[in-house]
Amino acid sequence: MARSTGPRYGQLGLGVLLLVFLAAVALVNIVVRGVRLDLTDAGLYTLSEGTQKVLDGIPEPVRLYFFISRGGLSDSPGLRAWADRVEDMLKEFEAHSHGRLDVSVIDPAPFSEDEDRAAAFGLQAVRLQISDDPLYFGVAGSNAVGDEEFIAFIDPQREQYLEYDLAKLVYSLSRADEPVVGLVSSLPLTGGFDPMQTSVTEPWIITSQISDLFDLRDLDIIEDEIDGEVDVLLLVHPKGATPRQLYALEQYLFRGGRALVFVDPLAEADPATPPGGAMAGMPADRSSNLEFLLGHWGLEMPGETVVGDGRYALRVSEADGTLARHPAYIGVDLNETGSGEVVTAELDVLNLGFAGYLKANEDAALQVTPLVRSSSDAGFLDPNLLAFTPDINSLWSGFNPQGEPLTLAARLSGTVSSAFPDGRPEQPADETDSDDDDSANPFADAMAQGETPSLQGAPSEEGEEAELPEHIAEGEVQLILVADTDLLSDRMWAQAQSVFGQRLVTAFASNGDFVINALDQLAGSSDLMGLRGRAAFSRPFDRVDELRLEAEAQFRLTEDQLQQELVRTENRLAELQEARDDQFALSLTPEQEAELEKFTDERLRIRRELREVRRNLDASIQRLGAVLKVINIGLIPLLIGIGGLAAALMRRRRRTGRGS
């Protein structure tokens, strides 16, 4: 009798299939090694073009250290997933850096040298309620010359800006020098002499904060050329700017410079009054504008209009000490009007006073990206009315909201032609006579005399012009324009007090952070300017959420039905009780017992329906989960394997073709 060979061949077939599978896996690992495919809906693992350019521009090797206390995350699945997300992003940076970026992941155990190293970089340890050990969750880096930068703690709340923060860190390590900010202002930001009080004034708080983070240089005035060493020009309240100075600003931008510009239809912080202005009852000219350049670029800031906002109006003190909402003092809630831009990321309230607004024409030559906008309850106010109306409540009588948000600050970018096609404007004859004292400061002299400092050009010695750069007929513009200067003044956003000789600052608005963010982004690589907030890593299961919402709707409907039945039963029992002759008896009548039994049966039926709704929801989710498992565990690897085999066969055919 012959023995059956079926099981033997079956086992042999399984063995051959296993060998083929292992060979296919090995072949795929060889063929597609280094190939990365981002299948996420928002491209979470695909670096932006700007980030790739930053990585391509690393001149010398940079090392990054990701300090993550894995032990402290054992009971926090959310933070574990966030740590994996950060590590994956860093590995993407390393993979695209052409070997110039080296990333190390370090788990600093308590009381170890790695923990001391993390603390030496400046990283901050936090303690979670789920763990007694300190948690390090930050990134530090160093470059070839020993400069160090760090992100003390990678906040999950900044998940949308993870790529920007890491790219900015790499860029900071790629450049050796500190960004230079050149300040040109007709407001006393750096302090000065107050002729009314006959005393020296302190620098504004915002100036001190800028000095702590940048190489701040006071340029006093704009001359025929802006120093090429200036990375960002901070131009505040450019009153009386001459054509030659506007030309210098334009050419500076064309040569790759950036600018943060503050203009204002009514600068309340402007301390000056024109001679005879107050005596004649005329309002002081406290406006500033770049009307000529803005007009050429296709924009305008209406000079005779102040923005009021019915939704964001702040309360201020009247003459009698009472508080009233003032339409021209507005506190914009950036959480509501957020632009998705890095400049306004995670900021709360921006306080402005007597601000203007920016309006772009349909054919504007520059791209206008709004950064700060009013609410839709914003309207227009007359600056002259504001100057001569002490009663705040009367300002509301003629206030008419426009019904749409107004742009209060915007980023301007793009390539434009020169507003001066014939080159540098000629200097007027009355400006060629210069004083013999070369050290004179026009700003200091004007303020000491109680006059208005202005951006009037300084002529060269003996009327001779120095050699100036060649005229550029077309260039790229990158600047941020803000239609308010008062947001920089201390009283709008911060309080300072002296404690044991130290000046302590308490901020009650995000004005300072807004300015620092704007300078920080402008001083960075131009490739970082276009980086916006990205999609969040924690993606919801949309289909599961839809199923759950449908089930909850049915559940609420059935519960409402049960509640209505209960109310009807209680009313019916009360009616039967009132109809009894012995209303105070404790026993139930047969009618009441029948009604109660009927309600009990109905309640059991409804409860069964509720359980059925729950079971159907769980079954639907389980079926969806099973389908997803089949796709992820079986189909995707199968497709990758087929793709790898196809690539291998194509490569083999090409080699065979070349060999023949």
- CA atoms 399, 405, 407, 408: torsion sign: positive
- Confidence label for 592 from pLDDT (cuts 50, 70 and 90): low
Instruction: Specify the pLDDT at position 291.
Output: 93
- Confidence label for 459 from pLDDT (cuts 50, 70 and 90): very low
Output 469 or 372, whichever has higher pLDDT.
Answer: 372
Which of 107-121, 155-169, 241-255, 582-596 tops mean pLDDT?
241-255
Cα separation of 502 and 497, whole Å? 8
Structure tokens at 11: 């086992």
Output 499 or 630, whichever has higher pLDDT.
Answer: 630
Model confidence at 433: pLDDT above 50: no
For 271-280, 342-351, 367-376, 479-488, which range has the lowest pLDDT when averaged over its residues? 271-280
Q: With H, G, I as helix, E, B as strand and everything else as coil, classify residue 334.
A: coil
* Predicted confidence (pLDDT) per residue in 185-195, tens digit: 999 998 876 66
Instruction: Specify the pLDDT at position 585.
Output: 54
* Predicted confidence (pLDDT) per residue in 415-428, tens digit: 999 999 999 988 76
SS (H, E, C) 430-485: HHCCCCCCCCCCHHHHHHHCCCCCCCCCCCCHHHCCCCCCCCCCEEEEEEEEECCC
Model confidence at 522: pLDDT above 50: yes
* Predicted confidence (pLDDT) per residue in 218-268, tens digit: 987 777 789 889 999 999 999 988 999 999 999 999 999 999 999 999 998
Model confidence at 144: pLDDT above 90: no
Instruction: Specify the pLDDT at position 372.
Output: 95
Query: Average pLDDT in the 584-594 region?
Result: 66
Model confidence at 491: pLDDT above 50: yes
Q: How far is CA 80 from CA 43, 74, 536, 538, in A?
A: 21, 8, 15, 12
Model confidence at 476: pLDDT above 50: yes
Long-range interactions of 118-124: CB distance < 8 A, separation 24+: 118/67, 121/65, 121/67, 121/148, 121/150, 122/148, 122/150, 122/152, 123/67, 123/150, 123/152, 123/153, 124/152, 124/153
Model confidence at 279: pLDDT above 50: no
* Predicted confidence (pLDDT) per residue in 286-302, tens digit: 899 999 999 999 999 99
Query: Average pLDDT in the 43-65 region?
Result: 81
Contacts of 293 (CB under 8 A, 6+ apart): 246, 249, 250, 419
Instruction: Specify the pLDDT at position 371.
Output: 94
- Confidence label for 541 from pLDDT (cuts 50, 70 and 90): low
Model confidence at 77: pLDDT above 90: no
Model confidence at 7: pLDDT above 60: no
Instruction: Specify the pLDDT at position 317.
Output: 83
Instruction: Specify the pLDDT at position 8.
Output: 57
Cα separation of 246 and 223, whole Å? 10
pTM score, whole prediction = 0.64
Burial of 241 (0-12, 13-18, 19+ CB in 10 A): buried
* Predicted confidence (pLDDT) per residue in 604-628, tens digit: 776 666 666 666 666 666 666 666 6
Instruction: Specify the pLDDT at position 252.
Output: 95
Cα separation of 405 and 512, whole Å? 23
Instruction: Specify the pLDDT at position 195.
Output: 63
Model confidence at 133: pLDDT above 80: no
Structure tokens at 456: 């009037």
For 117-121, 448-452, 583-587, which range has the lowest pLDDT when averaged over its residues? 448-452
Q: Cα(first)–Cα(last) distance of the chain, in Å?
A: 54
pLDDT, averaged across the chain: 77
